[in-house]
Amino acid sequence: MTLPQELDASRSLLDHLVMDLEGKPLGRVDDIELEAVDGKPPAITALLLGPLALGPRLGGRLGTWWVAVGRRLRQDASAEPPRVPFVAVTELRPGEVRIGLLRSEHEPRLMTWTRDKVIKPIPGSGGAA
Amino acid sequence: MSRLLSITLGVLTAIGGFLDIGELVTGSLTGARFGLSLAWVVVLGVVAIMLYAEMSARIAAVTGRAVFDVVRERLGPRAGLANLTASFLVNVITLAAEIGGVALALQLASDVSYLLWVPLVAVLVWVVLWRLPYGAMEKVYGLLGLALLVFVVALVKLHPDWGGLWHQASHPRVPTGEGHPTWWYYAIALFGAAITPYEVFFFSSGAVEEGWSRKELIDARANVVVGFPLGGALTIALMAIAAVVLQPRGIQVDHLSQAGLPVAVAVGKVGVAVMLVGFFAATFGAAMEVALSSGYTIAQYFGWSWGKLMRPVQAPRFYTVCLLSLVVATGLILTTIDPVKLTEYVVVLSAVAFPLTYFPILIVANDRAYLGDAANPRWMNALATVMLVVILAASLAAIPLMIATKAGL
Amino acid sequence: MTLNELLACDVVDASGEVVGQVHDVSFVRRDDGQPPVYEIRHLMFAPGTVGARLGYGFGEMHGPWPISAFLRRLARTSGRAVEWRQVTDIRDGRIYVDARAGDLPSQLEVVEGRR
């Protein structure tokens, strides 16, 4: 499956689900990283996910607070949003962006935290310890 | 299982599933106060929910996207978040009302206060979501909900003036002694109960998770087209028995027991027992659906894994949200707030959030790049747009009417 | 730089007027081969953003009438596209372009021109 010749950010990328090799969702494209090199027009270098990327999109005081919460959760005041290098994108479909990575190797922190702190302690959660 | 049997099962589940605490309370309450003059609202509500449930299921089957995936993509993160906040709030309060409904049904059966039943109900809902096979559970409580057919039995046994009832329903008029604003307020309440958004969240998320293709869509359409109207008819039957037994005596419905009075009068103790089974099944089933819908909406907005068929460790954020909403809802109902009043308020307040949910569905159902030839035909667009105008009107009038009538006094 | 920093920027045309806000950015594949690199081609802007947001600027939404008729007209008449090479400056949340808005193609023309 080849990628298209032209694409519109809001139609094909922004707010779309990011799906890994196994079809599991990593999150959504909350923002897109651009880089201008050698006087050429800026090009897409990465997809940005998570509250640190979503905050600025929300804008205003809400957005600032969102980013602050994201930074507090990471306990890192200068954290940058998780990025998926654009070279990892394999396919664009309606509503989703497929990448050639495995979520299990790049698991979102909240997912790990809720699994360990909330789900596993409750009996019958279905996970091997 | 043969196709016919599975479709029948689906239809029967849809009938029982259509009714939850919202319809039970507003149906009997409006019947007692306004006779059948608001029956047309149920018809309107059934048409609206049929349209939007079908559209959201079609979108799910063709694109693999559920309602809140669509909301985030189409409205963007800001408007989508506003929608999410409103929907989640409504969901949690609805969940509290459903849990209250289950507990009230148990109170009527046991004479033990509903407050003592609430924690047990919450735990039961959680255990079913956590461990038990959801598909089987859905069929069980869907079929048990058919016990509410006792309303029809009661209506027949009451030997009502059928002509008179038909006249009331087909010539809606505000009864003497009641104000127009109050009548319209309860019209919104009835409408709100019929088209509560959690139904479309649940329906479309299930369609995505079960990987519906066009084949399953055809079966789902049968469920929707046959099941929902029959559910609406059941609601009207409840309205009618309240109109026949309670209205002439000036009895208003403040407690669930009064909703059951007409059944006791017409069918006796056995009827009441059957009715309580139906109450329990309808509200318990709804409680599970609402709890899952709280998780669906948030997980879909953020792009997390979600699914009622997934093991909790596979979708930990989703299950955490479901658990959280269950805890908050339980806390809310334990504040001893009147569950019946809470139901009345939440069906009206949820009307305010409707347009945010239903508008994106209509938009996406028209997108040919997404749906190809499965996009809405003209006639459906016309009908759905009319419905959206009605939905918008209800949403705008809800709060002013609530204030003007002091919440239906 | 992130895309968000471009989105919702005011667009100031050659006459010095604010002619809209950026609501979308289109990219074209730079033909350096594999892996594909997408560089900015057009900034799509309009005085309002609702219709474009909902997807009506792309010519594939056909209903429901009258919503679609209204929003498509809006997108057609006011949604415009400016090429990146026409951008002269970006500062303080404003993008300065060296053309007059009226001379620029509409967003719909650009999209249809691709096919």
Tokens representing B320 are 């955490």
pLDDT digits (tens, 9 = 90+) for B357-370: 888 898 888 888 77
Tokens representing B404 are 């003007």
Query: Residue B394: pLDDT band by 50, 70, 90 thresholds?
Result: very high
Q: What is the mean pLDDT of chain B?
A: 91
Please give the average per-residue pLDDT across B228-236, as a whole number: 93
Question: For chain A, what is the radius of gyration of the CA atoms?
Answer: 17
User: Does residue A122 form part of some domain?
Assistant: no
Contacts for B298 with CB less than 8 Å, ≥ 6 apart? B84, B88, B304, B318, B321
Q: Which contiguous run of DSSP H or E holds residue C10?
A: strand C10-12
pLDDT at residue C49 tops 70? no
- The answer to whether B181 and B402 have CB atoms below 8 angstroms apart is no
The beta-carbon neighbor of A41 closest among C24, C39, C53 is C39
Please give the average per-residue pLDDT across B33-61, as a whole number: 94
Q: What pLDDT is attached to residue B275? A: 94
The beta-carbon neighbor of C63 closest among B75, B369, B376 is B376
Interface touch C40/A48, C-beta < 8 Å: no
pLDDT at residue A128 tops 50? no
Closest CA to C97 of C84, C112, C80: C84
The beta-carbon neighbor of B363 closest among C54, C58, C65 is C54
Q: What pLDDT is attached to residue B4? A: 80
Cβ–Cβ pairs < 8 A, chains A and C = 83
Per-residue DSSP letter, A3: P
**Among the listed ranges A109-118, B10-19, B258-267, B372-381, which one has the minimum average pLDDT value?**
B10-19
pLDDT digits (tens, 9 = 90+) for C24-34: 899 999 876 77
Interface touch A95/B69, C-beta < 8 Å: yes
Q: What are the Cα distances from residue A59, in Å, to A55, A65, B78, C4, C7?
A: 6, 10, 8, 10, 11
Angle, CA of C8, C9 and C14, to the nearest 5°: 135
Q: What are the Cα distances from residue A33, in Å, to A26, B30, B356, C39, C40?
A: 17, 56, 30, 12, 12
C111/chain A closest Cα distance in angstroms: 9
Q: What residue in A sits closest to B371 (Cα-Cα)?
A: A94
Query: Residue A11: pLDDT band by 50, 70, 90 thresholds?
Result: confident
As a 3-state breakdown, chain C gives helix, strand, coil percent values, each rounded to 5, of: 30, 35, 30
- Give me the domains of chain B, ranges plus CATH numbers: 3-404 (1.10.4160.10)
Please give the average per-residue pLDDT across B166-190, as a whole number: 92
Chain A residues interacting with chain C (CB cutoff of 8 angstroms): 3-11, 14, 31-36, 40-44, 48, 53, 56-57, 59, 86-87
- Give me the domains of chain C, ranges plus CATH numbers: 3-114 (2.30.30.240)
Interface touch A6/C28, C-beta < 8 Å: yes
Q: What residue in B sits closest to A10 (Cα-Cα)?
A: B73
Query: Residue B7: pLDDT band by 50, 70, 90 thresholds?
Result: confident
Contacts for B15 with CB less than 8 Å, ≥ 6 apart? B145, B146, B227, B230, B231, B234
Counting the structural domains of chain A, the total is 1
pLDDT at residue B398 tops 90? yes
Q: What pLDDT is attached to residue C51? A: 52
Chains contacting B with at least 3 CB pairs below 8 Å?
A, C
Query: Residue C70: pLDDT band by 50, 70, 90 thresholds?
Result: low
Closest CA to C74 of C90, C88, C54, C103: C54
Cα B77 from Cα B80, distance rounded (Å) = 5
Contacts of C55 in chain A (CB under 8 A): 11
Q: What residue in C sits closest to B383 (Cα-Cα)?
A: C64
The beta-carbon neighbor of A58 closest among B69, B81, B312 is B81
Contacts of A118 in chain B (CB under 8 A): 316, 319-320, 323
Please give the average per-residue pLDDT across C81-91, as a whole number: 91
Contacts for B215 with CB less than 8 Å, ≥ 6 apart? none
Find which of C3, C49, C50, C60 to mutate to test the B interface (most B CBs within 10 Å of its CB).
C60
Please give the average per-residue pLDDT across B191-217, as a whole number: 91
Please give the average per-residue pLDDT across B287-305, as a whole number: 95
Cα B151 from Cα B230, distance rounded (Å) = 13
**Among the listed ranges B4-8, B75-79, B370-374, which one has the minimum average pLDDT value?**
B4-8
Percent of chain B with pLDDT over 90: 65
Interface touch B368/C62, C-beta < 8 Å: yes
Please give the average per-residue pLDDT across B1-9, as a whole number: 77
A56/chain C closest Cα distance in angstroms: 7
Q: What pLDDT is attached to residue B366? A: 85
Query: Is the link from the previous residue into C64 a cis peptide, with omega within 30 of 0?
Result: yes
Q: Which contiguous run of DSSP H or E holds residue B302?
A: helix B256-302
pLDDT at residue B132 tops 50? yes
Q: Can you state the angle between helices B316-334 and B256-302, rounded to 10 degrees?
A: 150
Find which of B71, B78, B83, B301 to mutate to test the A interface (most A CBs within 10 Å of its CB).
B78
Instruction: Please state the φ and ψ torsions of residue C97, each to the nearest 5 degrees.
Output: -120, 155
Q: What pLDDT is attached to residue A14? A: 95
pLDDT at residue B105 tops 50? yes
User: Does residue A118 form part of some domain?
Assistant: no
B290/chain A closest Cα distance in angstroms: 20
**CATH code of A71's domain:** 2.30.30.240
Closest CA to B177 of B36, B33, B27: B33
- The answer to whether B165 and B328 have CB atoms below 8 angstroms apart is no
Q: What pLDDT is attached to residue B332? A: 96
Angle, CA of B299, B302 and B306, to the nearest 5°: 25
**Pairing mode, if any, of strands C94-97 and C10-12?**
parallel
Q: What pLDDT is attached to residue A127? A: 53
Query: Residue B142: pLDDT band by 50, 70, 90 thresholds?
Result: confident
User: Does residue A110 form part of some domain?
Assistant: no
A127/chain B closest Cα distance in angstroms: 6
Contacts for B228 with CB less than 8 Å, ≥ 6 apart? B14, B18, B46, B49, B50, B53
Find which of C27, C89, C114 to mutate to test the A interface (most A CBs within 10 Å of its CB).
C27
Cα C115 from Cα C108, distance rounded (Å) = 12
Q: What pLDDT is attached to residue B95? A: 97
Helices (H) and strands (E) in chain C, counts: 4, 6
Query: Residue C108: pLDDT band by 50, 70, 90 thresholds?
Result: confident
Contacts of C55 in chain B (CB under 8 A): 74, 363, 367, 369
User: Does residue A114 form part of some domain?
Assistant: no
Q: What pLDDT is attached to residue A95? A: 85
pLDDT digits (tens, 9 = 90+) for A49-103: 999 999 999 988 999 999 998 888 777 777 788 899 999 999 998 889 999 999 9
pLDDT at residue A38 tops 90? no
What's the one-letter identity of residue B29? L
Contacts of B80 in chain A (CB under 8 A): 15
Indicate the burial class of B148 (C-beta count within 10 angstroms; 0-12, 13-18, 19 or more): buried
Interface touch B381/C64, C-beta < 8 Å: yes
Contacts of A5 in chain C (CB under 8 A): 28-29, 114
Q: What pLDDT is attached to residue B55? A: 93
pLDDT at residue A129 tops 50? no
Query: Residue C68: pLDDT band by 50, 70, 90 thresholds?
Result: low
Range of the domain at A63: 9-103
Query: Residue C73: pLDDT band by 50, 70, 90 thresholds?
Result: low
